[in-house]
Amino acid sequence: MEYPIEISLTKNSRRPGLDLASLPFGRTFSDHMFTAEYIDGKWQNCKIEPYGPISFAPSMMALHYGQAIFEGMKANLNAKTGEPMLFRTDQHVDRINSSADRLGMPEVPAEIYLNAVNALVAIDKDWIPEDEGSALYIRPFMFATDEWLGVRASERYKFMVITGPVGPYYTKPVSILVAQKYVRAFPGGTGYAKAAGNYAATIKPATIAKKMGYDQILWLDGLEFKYLQECGTMNIFAVIGDTVLTPPTSDSILAGITRSSVIALLKEKGIKVEERPIEIAEIIEAHKAGELKEMFGTGTAAVISDVGELSYQDVTYTLPPVEGRKIGPMVKKLLTDIKTGNAEDTHGWVEPVRTDMLSTVK
């Protein structure tokens, strides 16, 4: 192993007595975390230790210039064997390094990333919820750690992974507001990267939307304000007639791993899928004609979330009831069944958690 992990286990687990079925999303974390440091041009000091606070200088560059990126993954239990399973890990490695490249940060070696994720899940497997729609959320992230004020690339970085049990991100169909003023991303920007700053820019408009009674914002392009981009933290899909539409990925749209999985599964089912620019006017016209059958968002956290209604230019458009929909619920069940071993994985997407790096446990 080129990057050995020093593992120190907690002596006081917080897991006993904790009801994993009643936890809000993203507020409870497992017993351990992974850290590695990039110093003098190489990754080193790989450790797993008890989850807890970290210290840093007030001048740490990530706080001032925003060199910070992250990923989102989930681990599920195989319904037949109880074995922890991961989903499309290679795609997550590729995506964090694409984000790193865009922000001028060093690549995270696949060995470090995969060993960290596998070891953490293996150690904290008792934190994986068993309820339907629940999982162990995995958050790898990297940030600049130079203690120096000056707009330039940092020379030192920290890569970390934390995990925590989560239930469904949305428990009901979402209501969305089509953006009319604010922009999430634009050509040449960082919209395709999972950069922390991308999400910071969405917080104010999302807060405004929630005060108006909406769950999320449907973002339009930053040049003409007419083409669909993303919905909150999700890629967006629309079913018009017998065709599933979704915007093509670009430097303004995240290449969602759930998105690509859904497209592959739909095509296998013989369902017509078009990846092309979609004007908001086309969505409104389809709704008026009775041809807008479904809309749904896809993402690691949300998996597949149905859109119940959307508001555009002060008019609210209600979509057909979820109970009568054919595409979103079907592909959500199929994807979930693949992740939990209830359906055959013909793509090689799912893999059991490895334990070979646990020999250094203290």
Q: What is the mean pLDDT of residues 279-289?
A: 98
User: Which of the four pLDDT bands, split at 50, 70 and 90, describes residue 187?
Assistant: very high
Cα–Cα distance measured from residue 150 to residue 153, given in angstroms and rounded to the nearest whole number: 9
Q: What is the pLDDT of residues 148-157, one digit of tens each?
A: 999 999 999 9
C-alpha closest to that of 239 among 281, 279, 283: 283
DSSP string, 237-286: EEEETTEEEEPPPBTTB---HHHHHHHHHHHHTT-EEEES--BHHHHHHH
Predicted local confidence at residue 346, as pLDDT: 96
Q: Is the pLDDT of residue 133 over 90?
A: no
Q: What average pLDDT does the structure give for the chain? A: 95
pTM of the model: 0.96
User: Which of the four pLDDT bands, split at 50, 70 and 90, describes residue 16?
Assistant: very high
Cα–Cα distance measured from residue 233 to residue 199, given in angstroms and rounded to the nearest whole number: 8
Predicted local confidence at residue 301, as pLDDT: 87
Q: What is the mean pLDDT of residues 340-348?
A: 96
What is the CATH code for 174-339?
Answer: 3.20.10.10
DSSP string, 144-168: E--B--SSS--S-EEEEEEEEEE--
Q: Is the pLDDT of residue 141 over 80?
A: yes
Sign for the pseudo-dihedral over CA of 184, 185, 191, 197: negative
Q: Is the pLDDT of residue 361 over 80?
A: no
Predicted local confidence at residue 288, as pLDDT: 97
Residue 142 CB coordination number (10 Å): 27
> Residues 264, 190, 201, 142: what is their CA dihedral angle, to the nearest 10 degrees?
90
User: Which of the four pLDDT bands, split at 50, 70 and 90, describes residue 1?
Assistant: low
Enumerate the domain spans of the chain.
6-168, 174-339
Q: What is the mean pLDDT of residues 123-128?
A: 97
Q: Is the pLDDT of residue 173 over 90?
A: yes
Predicted local confidence at residue 168, as pLDDT: 84
Q: Is the pLDDT of residue 228 over 80?
A: yes
What is the percent of the chain where pLDDT is above 90? 90
What is the percent of the chain where pLDDT is above 70? 99
- At the top level of CATH, the class of 6-168 is alpha beta
Predicted local confidence at residue 25, as pLDDT: 86
User: Which of the four pLDDT bands, split at 50, 70 and 90, describes residue 23?
Assistant: confident
Q: Is the pLDDT of residue 163 over 70?
A: yes
Q: Is the pLDDT of residue 115 over 80?
A: yes
Predicted local confidence at residue 362, as pLDDT: 60
Contact 128, 142 (CB under 8 A): no
Predicted local confidence at residue 302, as pLDDT: 84
Predicted local confidence at residue 358, as pLDDT: 81
